[in-house]
Structure 1
Amino acid sequence: MHYFKIFILCLNCFWLNACSTHVSDYTNSSPDFKLEHYFNGNIKAWGILQNYSGKVSRRFTVDIKAKWDGNQGELKEYFEFDDGEKQTRIWTLTKIANGVYEGQANDVIGTAQIKQVGMAVNLQYQLSVPVDGDSYIFTIDDWMYQIDDKRVFNKSTLSKLGVEVAQLTIFFEKQ
Structure 2
Amino acid sequence: MSPSIVRRLMLPALSLLLIACGSAGIEHYRDKQPQLVPEAFFRGPLTAHGILKDRSGSVTRRFNAELSGSWDGGIGLLEERFVFDDGEVQLRNWQLIPIGTDSGAGVRGFIGRAEDVVGDAEVRVSGNAMFIRYVLEVAYGGDTIEVNVDDRMYLVSDRVIINESRLSKFGIPVGEIVLTIIRPPASPHHSAAN
| TM-score (normalised: structure 1) | 0.92
Counterpart residue type for residue 50 of structure 2 = G
Say what the alpha-carbon RMSD is for the aligned residues: 2.1
Give the aligned partner of residue 132 of structure 1: 141
**Match of 1:149?**
158
Identify which of 59, 63, 67 aligns with 1:60: 63
User: CA 1:89–1:10 in 2, change beyond 3 Å: closer, same or farther?
Assistant: closer
2:77 to 52, 71, 74: 74
Aligned to 2:105: none
Cα deviation per residue 1:124-143 (whole Å; 9 max; x = unaligned)?
00000012311111000000
The alignment status of 1:44 with 2:44, answered yes or no, reads no
**Cα shift readout 1:80-112 (whole Å, capped 9, x = no counterpart):** 000001110011111112311110000000000
Partner SS, residue 157 of structure 2: coil
Residue matched to 1:118: 127
Q: Which deviates more, 25-34 or 10-19?
A: 10-19
Structure 1 portions without partners, runs of 5+:
none
Q: 1:129 to 1:19 in 2, by over 3 A?
A: same
Please state which structure has a larger fraction of its residues in strand.
Answer: 1
Question: Please, which moves more after superposition, 43-52 or 20-29?
Answer: 20-29
1:87-126 equivalences under 5 Å are: 87-98=90-101, 99-126=108-135
Moved more, 11-20 or 71-80: 11-20
Aligned-partner Cα distance in 1 for 2:12–2:51: 33
Q: Which residue of 1 aligns with 2:182?
A: 173
What is aligned with 2:32? Answer: 29
Runs (4+) of structure 1 moved beyond 3 Å?
8-11, 13-16
Q: Give 1 or 2 for the bigger CA radius of gyration.
A: 2
- Cα distance between partner residues in 1 of 2:20 and 2:36: 25
For 1:14 and 1:158, the matched residues in 2 are separated by 16
SS at match of 2:111: strand
Give TM-score scaled by structure 2 length.
0.83
SS in 1 for 2:27: helix
